[in-house]
Structure 1
Amino acid sequence: MEGKAPVSEHGETSKAAVPEVTSESRAASRGLSVLDLILRFVAVAATVGSAIAMGTTNQTLPFFTQFLRFKAQYNDLPALTFFVVVNSIVAAYLVLSIPLSIVHIIRSRAKYSRLVLVFFDAAMLALVTSAASAAAAIVYLAHKGNARANWFALCQQFDSFCERISGSLIGSFVAMALLILIILLSAAALARR
């Protein structure tokens, strides 16, 4: 009977057979949870910044007279509208996930709530990736144009508009990288169990 845990007369294993969580392991899990919380705050800032930068982007150019003008707005292009909506949704989700992330700092052994967060984090990563990719394609066309499709580069005239929409993409790509890190941290915390 070597290698087996001691069994009581009722058929239960004794507590000596269950490995105890060391304070070092608990501290490492708490450290991962603190880093997760910090990354969530930074990702909120990145997505909110992207949504605001894109949502407030417009530029008006005069055309011969002051009564006839050309105007470029983000909502003229559905991909950019999708970008603003998705970044707003992801920012709202991240704000709502912060209390659960705080719970993980306090109770580092929580497993099921961490699994739920991993699932929703992955869904938000997919959303922000699709929105940023669609917006990046539009930004590329705005900068370079497409001669075969008779799309002219808008950025030659609407330079301020193009600078802002290009800048808003940076925050979204940063949020993508942060969500990947958050998912990896959660996976590492789950693997420590």
Structure 2
Amino acid sequence: MEGDSAAINITETPKERKGKAPLLATPPGASSSGKPVVQVVQPMQKGGYKRGLAVFDVVLRIAGIAAALGAAIAMGSTDQTLPFFTQFFQFKAEYDDLPAFTFFVIANAITASYLALSIPISIVCIMRPHAVKPRIILMFFDTVMIALTTSAAGGAASIVYLAHNGNSDANWPAICQQFNDFCQETSGAVVASFLSVVVLMVLVVLSSFSL
């Protein structure tokens, strides 16, 4: 009839419902086909900081060479002759008059030579930052050089102290008032040697961090 609306109910058959896919959003981490997407994460480069430590190691070794070699040269070239002397008496001070100063020169020369020879091994650590054996070798010999250089610097420091202050109990007078240049040069050499000891200690710490 006119004015009347007829409602027609259309019922889907099971066959028609089976062919339709549900309209669902694709979950994150899955493709449109429903399979999970595997994300490949690149591993972090762990050799960056080790390579930086190796570069710093080379710089410190060059600084240690300068300190140890400077200490050996300064002590080895130390001598002073006082202007007042006669034909039979000559007042002169040289480093080889004291065995402690002679040992000081030899020990610092050995330390400087070792640091120079160890630079190629340190360069290997730059190219191969994950290498373990070169680091162990460097740390072992660095520790040996610490003992050698510290003993030499400590022995020379005791002589320099006596030269500045003397020892009234042993009747050893202070000579730095007369041999002023000699005492200044020996004091500077001892300071440079202790700087090389500090450099060697830092090198051992760097090797420990790298391992």
TM-score, length basis structure 1: 0.85
Report Cα offsets for 1:39-94 as digits up to 9, x if no partner.
00000000000000000000001335366321100000000000000000000000
Q: CA deviation at 1:21?
A: 6.6
- Out of 184, 188, 193, which is 2:209 matched to? 188
Give the letter for the 2:78 counterpart. T
The alpha-carbon distance between structure 1 residues 180 and 21, as it changes in their structure 2 partners (threshold 3 A), is farther
| DSSP-derived class of the 1:59 partner | strand
Contact in 2 for aligned 1:51/1:85 (Cα 8 Å): yes
For the pair 1:119 / 2:140, whether they are aligned, the reply is yes
| DSSP-derived class of the 1:156 partner | coil
Greater helix content: 1
Q: CA deviation at 1:170?
A: 1.1
Report Cα offsets for 1:74-120 as digits up to 9, x if no partner.
00000000000000000000000000000100111110111011000
Contact in 1 for aligned 2:85/2:91 (Cα 8 Å): no
Contact in 2 for aligned 1:79/1:135 (Cα 8 Å): yes
The alpha-carbon distance between structure 1 residues 78 and 157, as it changes in their structure 2 partners (threshold 3 A), is same
5 Å-filtered alignment, 1:22-171, equals 22-23=44-45, 25-65=46-86, 68-171=89-192
Give the letter for the 2:124 counterpart. V
Query: In 2, Cα distance between the equivalents of 1:66 and 1:165?
Result: 28
Give the letter for the 1:78 counterpart. P
TM-score, length basis structure 2: 0.78
Where does the alignment leave 5 or more consecutive residues of structure 2 unmatched?
1-41
Question: 1:10 matched to which residue of 2?
Answer: none
5 Å-filtered alignment, 1:164-179, equals 164-179=185-200
Query: In 1, Cα distance between the equivalents of 2:160 and 2:201?
Result: 24
| DSSP-derived class of the 2:155 partner | helix
Aligned-pair identity (%)? 54
**What is the number of residues matched between the two proteins?**
170
Question: 1:16 matched to which residue of 2?
Answer: none
Report Cα offsets for 1:100-141 as digits up to 9, x if no partner.
000100111110111011000000000000000000000000
Greater relative CO (CA pairs within 8 A, separation 6+): 1
Contact in 2 for aligned 1:57/1:164 (Cα 8 Å): yes
Contact in 2 for aligned 1:62/1:68 (Cα 8 Å): no
